[in-house]
Amino acid sequence: MIRSIFLDILGPILALVLLGALMRRKFKIDIGTLSKLNIYLFTPAFLFNEVSHSALSWSEMGGVVTITVLQVATLGALVWGIGRALRIHHRTLAAIAMAVMFYNSANYGLPLASLAFPGGASSVRDGGAVQAFVVFSQNILTYTVGLSIAAWAGSGNLRGAAGAFFRLPVAPTIALALGARWWIHSGHALPDLIEKTAGYLANGLVPTALLTVGAQMAVKPRWPRWRPISMVLVLRLIFGPIQMAALLYGLHLTGWKPVDLWPWPAESLILTAAVPTAISTLLLTLEVGGDADLAADCVFWTTVFSCLTITIWLVILRWGMG
C-alpha cells in the first residue's frame, strides 16, 4: 500500500510539475493562458462531471459539505488570528490563508481516497464517492471565499470580489451540474455531446493544472521564503487532519445523525484533509494579481513534504481506526 502511494500517486504529481517547469524554460509557455484554461474550461468541466454523477444521498452530501465548511472556516479564523498577532502583510497573509484553507482535494485527494478505500462489492468504504463531494465543497468555497481573499490580496480591499466571482463560470456550472444530477437520477441519460465533452475536459484538469504549477515556479528560480512556508507546512499537513478529526469526533458526540460521520467516512475525510495546498489557489492568485510566487511555493513544498506526512497519516489511521 505504502509503495503504491509513492509510485502511483506522488510520483506522477511531482513528475508533471517538473515537466511544466521544463516546458516553461524551453518554450516560454504563457502562464496566463494556462491559468485561464484551468479556471474557465477544465475546472468547470471537472465540477460538472463529478457532481452530476455522484451516488451519495442528499443526507450524506449534506454531512460532507457541512464538515468541509466548518473545517475551512475554523482554519481561516486561526490563520487570520495568527496573522493579526504577527502583523503579517495582507498579501502574504492572504497567500498563507488560501494555502492552509484550500487543499488539493481533486488532483491528489481523489486518487488517494480511491487507493486507500477502494470500496467495491465487499466494502461500503468507498473513498472516491466521499471525496467527490469534498471536491465539490472545496471548489465552491475556493471560488467564493478564496476568490474574495485573493481579490483582497490583489487590491488591498474586497471591492470587486463579488463581481469577479460572477465573471467566473463556477456558479452556473454548479447549478447545471445539480440539474444534470437530478436528470440522471430520474432514470434519464445526458446527451453524448454533453456527457463525452465534459468527460474529456474533466480528464484534462489534472495534467494542465500541474503543468501550470511547474511553469509558474520556473519563471523566477528563487530560494523560497521559509518562514511563511513553514507555517503553511505545519498548518496544512499536520494540523489540518488533526483539526478534521477533532471536528468529526466532536460532531459524533452530539449524536445528531446528519453530521455524525464517525468512524466512516471520517477515516477518509481525515486522510484527505492532510493533502497539499490546492493548485486552484495559485490559479486564482495569478488571475487577480496576488502573491503568486508564495502561492506557487506553498503548492510545491506542501506537495513535496506530503510524501512523508501522508504516509505517516495513513499508518496512524490504519492502526487507530482500522
Maximum C-alpha span of the chain: 58
Give the C-alpha separation, 317 to 307, whole Å.
Answer: 16
- Looking at the DSSP bridge assignments, the partners of residue 126 are 118
DSSP string, 18-62: HHHHHHHHHH---HHHHHHHIIIIIHHHHHHHHHHT----HHHHH
- Looking at the DSSP bridge assignments, the partners of residue 277 are 103
Give the pLDDT confidence score for residue 150 in this predicted structure: 80
Give the pLDDT confidence score for residue 103 in this predicted structure: 93
All residue ranges of the chain with pLDDT < 70 are 1-10, 55-56, 119-125, 153-166, 219-222, 320-322
User: H helices of 190-259, where?
Assistant: 192-203, 205-217, 226-233, 240-254
Which of 61, 96, 69, 62 is closest to 80 using CA atoms? 96
State the CB neighbour count (10 A cutoff) for residue 194: 14
Give the pLDDT confidence score for residue 289 in this predicted structure: 72
Give the pLDDT confidence score for residue 121 in this predicted structure: 45
- Looking at the DSSP bridge assignments, the partners of residue 118 are 126
Give the pLDDT confidence score for residue 2 in this predicted structure: 59
Distances, alpha carbon 122 to alpha carbons 53, 117, 118, 228, 263, in Å: 22, 12, 10, 45, 18
pTM over the 0.75 mark: yes
Give the C-alpha separation, 41 to 311, whole Å.
Answer: 33
Which triple of cell numbers denotes residue 70?
A: 466548518
74 CB-contact burial (10 Å; exposed 0-12 / middle 13-18 / buried 19+): middle
Give the pLDDT confidence score for residue 321 in this predicted structure: 65
Give the C-alpha separation, 33 to 188, whole Å.
Answer: 37
Give the C-alpha separation, 192 to 190, whole Å.
Answer: 6
